[in-house]
């Protein structure tokens, strides 16, 4: 069944729409990317880029919210998830695919101990006895470095700090040894020192278990820390997809480059003021014609960028959706070279 070469998760031409006063809005527009085995892929984008909805659609979670998947395919280990009945999806979600959300407090039930909640997941998916499930709960709490896991398993969510709750969520997500872990902004609500610890725990778990991780974030710093390959989204589309070192060494899309130049850390490194991306993030009710980033792009050539849709094309480093990518290679590359020189 499984073919080692085939990606673990493969999203192809996925289109997701949500209703609005002015009809259906396309919030994920022909998104394609894949997650290999033993891989860590980061999807990076700002609010409204479609990064979270892509993940929710992949797990069959947009229909309950009123959305619809109008076309495309999501294959997990060769199985098609789009259109799969909920009963079957439930067997995959939480079992083969674990997930973690941004706000750990709303994802945990305040009325049950964390041990009970983890044990419940294992009992349902793995059919373990109560005693074995409880043992497994303690084991996974220990693996995410909750001190004295055996006694803490009997505590309620409110007795844990924000960072610990997020580690409890990770423990719950990995309790069934998933092959894929999907994490949607798992560190965004946390302090930086706590975030550093969570990322360390996630990396360690990935290394030990060989599971794949799909990590959704808006922070390029976090991407640089954890990703092996990166999918950049803007305006419901993938605009760039490349291995992590390539993406940071020589970003191909002006948006990726702009995000880097806007970061305070990068500006500090260069001893300059940060260079903001002008304008505001594109919105689903009024996607710009042509390249969706063109109204904000410093490299825009209106005759090329502002009319026809731009395709995602392959170059020697990855995929990029920019009508001027071959002309811009030098300009963007130079900015990146300056960055690595000053970083050295």
Positions in the binding site for another protein (CB under 8 A)? 46-47, 147, 161-164, 191-197, 199-200, 218-225, 227, 244-245, 248-249, 258-260, 262-268, 273-278, 280-281, 296, 339-340, 343
- CA 276/CA 290 separation, integer angstroms: 22
- What's the min distance (Å) between Cβ of 61 and another protein? 24
- CA 56/CA 42 separation, integer angstroms: 15
- CA 323/CA 253 separation, integer angstroms: 10
Tokens of 149: 């896991």
- CA 32/CA 313 separation, integer angstroms: 12
- What's the min distance (Å) between Cβ of 255 and another protein? 8
Are 275 and 261 a contacting pair, CB within 8 Å? Answer: yes
- What's the min distance (Å) between Cβ of 196 and another protein? 4
Comparison of 243 and 309: residue with beta carbon closer to another protein: 243
Comparison of 311 and 343: residue with beta carbon closer to another protein: 343
Comparison of 135 and 317: residue with beta carbon closer to another protein: 317
- CA 115/CA 150 separation, integer angstroms: 9
Tokens of 86: 């909920």
Comparison of 259 and 310: residue with beta carbon closer to another protein: 259
Comparison of 157 and 163: residue with beta carbon closer to another protein: 163
Tell me if residue 37 falls in helix, strand or coil: coil
Query: Using CB atoms within 10 A of its CB, is residue 314 exposed (0-12), middle (13-18) or buried (19+)?
Result: exposed
Tokens of 281: 């993030």
- CA 212/CA 181 separation, integer angstroms: 6
- What's the min distance (Å) between Cβ of 107 and another protein? 19
Query: Using CB atoms within 10 A of its CB, is residue 47 exposed (0-12), middle (13-18) or buried (19+)?
Result: exposed
- CA 145/CA 148 separation, integer angstroms: 9
- Identify which of 62, 63, 95 has the alpha carbon closest to the alpha carbon of residue 76: 95
59 CB neighbour count, 10 Å cutoff: 17
Are 289 and 307 a contacting pair, CB within 8 Å? Answer: yes
Tokens of 230: 């990166």
Comparison of 275 and 304: residue with beta carbon closer to another protein: 275
- What's the min distance (Å) between Cβ of 301 and another protein? 21
- What's the min distance (Å) between Cβ of 18 and another protein? 19
- What's the min distance (Å) between Cβ of 102 and another protein? 14
Comparison of 109 and 161: residue with beta carbon closer to another protein: 161
- CA 156/CA 113 separation, integer angstroms: 4
- What's the min distance (Å) between Cβ of 338 and another protein? 12
- What's the min distance (Å) between Cβ of 212 and another protein? 18
Comparison of 282 and 328: residue with beta carbon closer to another protein: 282
- Identify which of 69, 64, 35 has the alpha carbon closest to the alpha carbon of residue 50: 69
Comparison of 4 and 344: residue with beta carbon closer to another protein: 344
């Amino acid at each position: 069944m499984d073919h080692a070469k085939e990606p673990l998760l493969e999203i192809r031409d996925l289109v997701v729409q949500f209703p609005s006063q002015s009809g259906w809005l396309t919030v994920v527009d022909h998104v394609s990317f894949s997650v290999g085995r033993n891989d860590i892929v980061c999807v990076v984008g700002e609010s409204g880029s479609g990064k979270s909805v892509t993940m929710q659609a992949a797990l069959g979670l947009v229909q309950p919210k009123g959305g619809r998947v109008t076309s495309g395919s999501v294959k997990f280990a060769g199985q098609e998830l789009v259109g799969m009945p909920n009963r079957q999806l439930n067997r995959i979600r939480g079992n083969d695919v674990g997930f973690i959300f941004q706000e750990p407090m709303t994802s945990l039930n305040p009325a049950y101990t964390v041990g009970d909640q983890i044990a419940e997941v294992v009992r349902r998916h793995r059919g373990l006895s109560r005693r074995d499930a409880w043992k497994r709960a303690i084991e996974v709490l220990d693996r995410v470095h909750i001190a004295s896991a055996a006694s803490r398993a009997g505590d309620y969510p409110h007795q844990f700090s924000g960072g610990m709750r997020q580690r409890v969520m990770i423990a719950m997500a990995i309790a069934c040894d998933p092959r894929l872990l999907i994490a949607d902004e798992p560190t965004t609500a946390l302090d930086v020192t706590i975030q550093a610890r969570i990322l360390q725990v996630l990396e360690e778990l990935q290394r030990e278990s060989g599971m794949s991780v799909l990590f959704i974030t808006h922070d390029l710093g976090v991407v640089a820390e954890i990703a092996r390959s990166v999918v950049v989204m803007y305006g419901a589309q993938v605009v760039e997809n490349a291995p992590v070192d390539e993406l940071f060494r020589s970003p191909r899309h002006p948006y990726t480059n702009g995000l880097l130049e806007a970061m305070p850390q990068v500006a500090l490194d260069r001893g300059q003021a940060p260079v903001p991306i002008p304008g505001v993030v594109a919105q689903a009710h009024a996607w710009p014609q042509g390249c969706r980033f063109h109204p904000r792009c410093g490299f825009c050539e209106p005759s090329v960028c502002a009319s026809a849709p731009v395709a995602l094309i392959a170059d020697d480093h990855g995929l990029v959706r920019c009508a001027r990518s071959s002309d811009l290679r030098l300009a963007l590359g130079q900015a990146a070279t300056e960055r690595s020189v000053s970083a050295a």
